[in-house]
Chains A and B, each alone.
Chain A
Amino acid sequence: DIQMTQSPSSLSASVGDRVTITCRASQTITTYLNWYQHKPGKAPRLLIYAASGLQSGVPSRFSGSGYGTDFTLTISSLQPEDFATYYCQQSYTAPFTFGPGTKVDI
Protein backbone atom coordinates (compact mmCIF):
# COMPACT_ATOMS: atom_id res chain seq x y z
CA ASP A 1 0.00 0.00 0.00
CA ILE A 2 1.09 3.60 -0.56
CA GLN A 3 1.58 5.34 2.78
CA MET A 4 0.58 8.96 3.15
CA THR A 5 1.99 11.31 5.76
CA GLN A 6 0.96 14.86 6.61
CA SER A 7 2.60 17.66 8.50
CA PRO A 8 1.91 19.20 10.81
CA SER A 9 -0.58 16.94 12.58
CA SER A 10 -2.21 20.03 14.02
CA LEU A 11 -1.77 23.77 13.94
CA SER A 12 -3.24 26.82 15.57
CA ALA A 13 -3.90 29.85 13.43
CA SER A 14 -5.86 33.07 13.34
CA VAL A 15 -8.40 34.43 10.90
CA GLY A 16 -6.54 35.97 7.99
CA ASP A 17 -3.44 33.79 8.36
CA ARG A 18 -1.86 31.97 5.46
CA VAL A 19 -1.83 28.24 6.21
CA THR A 20 0.20 25.54 4.48
CA ILE A 21 -0.23 21.80 4.96
CA THR A 22 2.17 19.27 3.50
CA CYS A 23 1.43 15.76 2.32
CA ARG A 24 3.99 13.16 1.29
CA ALA A 25 3.50 9.81 -0.44
CA SER A 26 5.73 6.78 0.11
CA GLN A 27 6.16 6.43 -3.66
CA THR A 28 5.42 8.52 -6.68
CA ILE A 29 1.73 9.17 -7.36
CA THR A 30 2.26 11.79 -10.09
CA THR A 31 -0.77 14.09 -9.60
CA TYR A 32 -3.19 11.52 -8.18
CA LEU A 33 -3.59 13.49 -4.99
CA ASN A 34 -6.80 14.91 -3.54
CA TRP A 35 -7.54 17.10 -0.52
CA TYR A 36 -10.64 16.98 1.69
CA GLN A 37 -11.95 19.16 4.51
CA HIS A 38 -13.75 17.38 7.33
CA LYS A 39 -15.76 18.92 10.14
CA PRO A 40 -17.17 16.91 13.08
CA GLY A 41 -20.52 15.36 12.31
CA LYS A 42 -20.34 16.33 8.64
CA ALA A 43 -19.40 14.54 5.46
CA PRO A 44 -15.90 15.18 4.13
CA ARG A 45 -15.80 17.84 1.42
CA LEU A 46 -13.60 17.64 -1.67
CA LEU A 47 -11.45 20.75 -2.01
CA ILE A 48 -8.71 19.92 -4.50
CA TYR A 49 -8.48 17.07 -7.02
CA ALA A 50 -5.59 15.90 -9.15
CA ALA A 51 -3.14 17.88 -6.99
CA SER A 52 -4.17 21.35 -8.15
CA GLY A 53 -7.72 21.29 -9.52
CA LEU A 54 -10.13 23.45 -7.53
CA GLN A 55 -13.42 21.66 -7.00
CA SER A 56 -16.49 23.57 -8.13
CA GLY A 57 -17.90 25.77 -5.38
CA VAL A 58 -14.72 25.80 -3.31
CA PRO A 59 -13.39 29.30 -2.53
CA SER A 60 -10.31 30.40 -4.42
CA ARG A 61 -8.37 30.92 -1.17
CA PHE A 62 -7.76 27.17 -1.31
CA SER A 63 -5.03 25.96 -3.64
CA GLY A 64 -3.00 22.82 -4.15
CA SER A 65 0.33 22.05 -5.71
CA GLY A 66 2.89 19.32 -6.08
CA TYR A 67 3.93 16.33 -8.15
CA GLY A 68 5.38 12.92 -7.52
CA THR A 69 5.63 12.46 -3.77
CA ASP A 70 5.36 15.94 -2.25
CA PHE A 71 2.21 18.04 -2.18
CA THR A 72 0.92 21.17 -0.51
CA LEU A 73 -2.48 22.57 0.39
CA THR A 74 -2.52 26.32 0.99
CA ILE A 75 -5.25 28.47 2.47
CA SER A 76 -4.31 32.01 1.55
CA SER A 77 -6.40 33.81 4.17
CA LEU A 78 -7.97 31.60 6.81
CA GLN A 79 -11.65 32.20 7.44
CA PRO A 80 -13.73 31.18 10.48
CA GLU A 81 -15.42 28.40 8.50
CA ASP A 82 -12.05 26.86 7.60
CA PHE A 83 -11.35 25.49 11.05
CA ALA A 84 -11.51 21.74 10.41
CA THR A 85 -9.37 18.68 9.77
CA TYR A 86 -7.77 18.34 6.35
CA TYR A 87 -6.90 15.03 4.73
CA CYS A 88 -4.89 14.21 1.66
CA GLN A 89 -5.69 11.06 -0.29
CA GLN A 90 -3.85 9.25 -3.05
CA SER A 91 -5.89 7.77 -5.87
CA TYR A 92 -2.95 6.49 -7.92
CA THR A 93 -3.47 2.90 -6.98
CA ALA A 94 -5.86 0.92 -4.81
CA PRO A 95 -6.21 0.83 -1.87
CA PHE A 96 -6.79 4.58 -2.00
CA THR A 97 -5.12 5.67 1.19
CA PHE A 98 -5.62 8.83 3.21
CA GLY A 99 -3.15 10.79 5.24
CA PRO A 100 -3.63 10.93 9.01
CA GLY A 101 -5.09 14.43 8.86
CA THR A 102 -4.11 17.94 9.92
CA LYS A 103 -6.35 19.64 12.43
CA VAL A 104 -6.57 23.41 12.03
CA ASP A 105 -7.92 25.23 15.05
CA ILE A 106 -7.97 28.68 16.52
Chain B
Amino acid sequence: QVQLQESGPGLVKPSETLSLTCTASAGSVSSGSYHWSWIRQPPGKGLEWIGHVYYTGSTNYNPSLKSRVTISLDTSKNQFSLKLRSVTAADTAVYYCARDIGQYYYMDVWGKGTTVTVS
Protein backbone atom coordinates (compact mmCIF):
# COMPACT_ATOMS: atom_id res chain seq x y z
CA GLN B 1 0.00 0.00 0.00
CA VAL B 2 1.43 3.36 -0.97
CA GLN B 3 2.30 5.75 1.83
CA LEU B 4 2.76 9.49 1.52
CA GLN B 5 4.92 11.77 3.65
CA GLU B 6 5.04 15.55 3.52
CA SER B 7 8.24 17.45 4.24
CA GLY B 8 9.34 21.05 4.25
CA PRO B 9 9.86 24.12 6.45
CA GLY B 10 7.39 24.63 9.25
CA LEU B 11 7.88 28.39 9.28
CA VAL B 12 7.79 30.74 6.30
CA LYS B 13 8.09 34.51 6.29
CA PRO B 14 5.36 36.67 4.76
CA SER B 15 5.85 37.41 1.04
CA GLU B 16 8.17 34.41 0.64
CA THR B 17 7.49 31.07 -1.06
CA LEU B 18 6.15 28.04 0.76
CA SER B 19 7.73 24.85 -0.59
CA LEU B 20 6.62 21.35 0.38
CA THR B 21 7.46 17.92 -0.95
CA CYS B 22 5.45 14.72 -0.76
CA THR B 23 7.34 11.44 -1.05
CA ALA B 24 5.53 8.29 -2.08
CA SER B 25 6.71 4.92 -0.87
CA ALA B 26 5.55 1.47 -2.00
CA GLY B 27 3.95 3.00 -5.06
CA SER B 28 4.82 5.08 -8.12
CA VAL B 29 3.79 8.63 -8.92
CA SER B 30 4.26 7.65 -12.57
CA SER B 31 1.11 5.54 -12.54
CA GLY B 32 -1.54 6.67 -14.98
CA SER B 33 -4.29 5.62 -12.58
CA TYR B 34 -3.85 8.49 -10.16
CA HIS B 35 -3.60 12.21 -9.68
CA TRP B 36 -1.54 13.63 -6.83
CA SER B 37 -3.17 16.34 -4.75
CA TRP B 38 -2.44 18.98 -2.17
CA ILE B 39 -5.09 19.96 0.38
CA ARG B 40 -4.86 22.32 3.34
CA GLN B 41 -6.72 23.08 6.54
CA PRO B 42 -6.28 26.48 8.20
CA PRO B 43 -6.62 26.52 11.99
CA GLY B 44 -10.23 26.10 13.02
CA LYS B 45 -11.44 25.82 9.43
CA GLY B 46 -12.35 23.13 6.94
CA LEU B 47 -10.48 21.42 4.15
CA GLU B 48 -9.47 23.27 0.98
CA TRP B 49 -8.31 21.52 -2.18
CA ILE B 50 -5.28 23.32 -3.62
CA GLY B 51 -4.74 21.37 -6.82
CA HIS B 52 -3.35 18.21 -8.34
CA VAL B 53 -0.87 16.90 -10.89
CA TYR B 54 -1.07 13.93 -13.25
CA TYR B 55 1.84 11.71 -14.24
CA THR B 56 2.05 13.56 -17.55
CA GLY B 57 2.72 16.76 -15.64
CA SER B 58 -0.66 18.29 -16.39
CA THR B 59 -2.12 20.23 -13.50
CA ASN B 60 -5.39 21.61 -12.23
CA TYR B 61 -5.51 24.32 -9.57
CA ASN B 62 -8.07 25.93 -7.32
CA PRO B 63 -8.82 29.29 -8.99
CA SER B 64 -8.59 31.00 -5.61
CA LEU B 65 -4.87 30.10 -5.47
CA LYS B 66 -4.02 29.60 -9.13
CA SER B 67 -1.98 32.78 -9.55
CA ARG B 68 0.37 31.74 -6.71
CA VAL B 69 0.55 27.94 -6.95
CA THR B 70 2.72 25.46 -8.78
CA ILE B 71 2.42 21.69 -8.31
CA SER B 72 4.99 19.51 -10.02
CA LEU B 73 6.13 15.91 -10.23
CA ASP B 74 9.63 14.42 -9.89
CA THR B 75 9.33 10.85 -11.07
CA SER B 76 13.04 10.14 -10.51
CA LYS B 77 12.54 10.71 -6.79
CA ASN B 78 8.94 9.46 -6.67
CA GLN B 79 7.87 12.82 -5.28
CA PHE B 80 5.53 15.68 -6.03
CA SER B 81 5.81 19.18 -4.72
CA LEU B 82 3.88 22.31 -3.88
CA LYS B 83 5.09 25.88 -4.23
CA LEU B 84 2.93 28.73 -2.97
CA ARG B 85 4.29 32.18 -3.63
CA SER B 86 3.80 35.47 -1.83
CA VAL B 87 2.39 33.88 1.31
CA THR B 88 0.51 35.71 4.03
CA ALA B 89 -0.76 34.73 7.46
CA ALA B 90 -3.89 33.41 5.74
CA ASP B 91 -1.76 30.61 4.27
CA THR B 92 -0.99 29.26 7.73
CA ALA B 93 -2.43 25.74 7.73
CA VAL B 94 -1.87 22.04 7.95
CA TYR B 95 -0.92 20.90 4.46
CA TYR B 96 -1.75 17.40 3.30
CA CYS B 97 -0.72 15.51 0.21
CA ALA B 98 -3.01 12.81 -1.13
CA ARG B 99 -3.56 10.39 -3.97
CA ASP B 100 -6.75 10.63 -5.93
CA ILE B 101 -8.09 7.84 -8.02
CA GLY B 102 -9.29 7.71 -11.58
CA GLN B 103 -12.20 9.67 -12.93
CA TYR B 104 -13.94 9.95 -9.58
CA TYR B 105 -10.94 11.69 -8.02
CA TYR B 106 -11.60 10.39 -4.53
CA MET B 107 -8.61 10.65 -2.20
CA ASP B 108 -7.86 7.25 -0.82
CA VAL B 109 -4.35 7.76 0.57
CA TRP B 110 -3.27 10.79 2.57
CA GLY B 111 -0.08 11.94 4.19
CA LYS B 112 -0.15 12.72 7.90
CA GLY B 113 0.04 16.43 7.22
CA THR B 114 2.58 19.09 8.01
CA THR B 115 1.94 22.38 9.78
CA VAL B 116 3.16 25.51 8.05
CA THR B 117 3.08 28.83 9.87
CA VAL B 118 3.54 32.11 8.04
CA SER B 119 5.07 34.61 10.40
A→B interface (CB under 8 Å): 1, 32, 34, 36, 38, 42-46, 49-50, 55, 87, 89, 91, 94-101
Contact = CB atoms under 8 A, between A and B. Distances in A.
A46 B107 contact: yes
Contact of A49 (B46, B47, B96, B106): B106
A10 B47 CA distance: 16
Interface of B (DSSP majority class):
strand
12 contacts: A32-B105, A36-B47, A42-B112, A43-B111, A43-B113, A44-B47, A44-B96, A46-B107, A50-B106, A94-B62, A95-B49, A98-B46
Interface size class of B (residues with CB under 8 A): 20 to 34
B74 interface: no
Contact of A96 (B49, B110, B111): B49
Interface in B6-55: 39, 46-49, 51
Contacts of B62: 94-95
Contacts, number: 61
A58 to B, nearest CB: 11
Contact of B47 (A45, A87, A91, A94): A87
Contacts of B64: 95
Contacts of B107: 34, 36, 44, 46, 89
A55 B96 contact: no
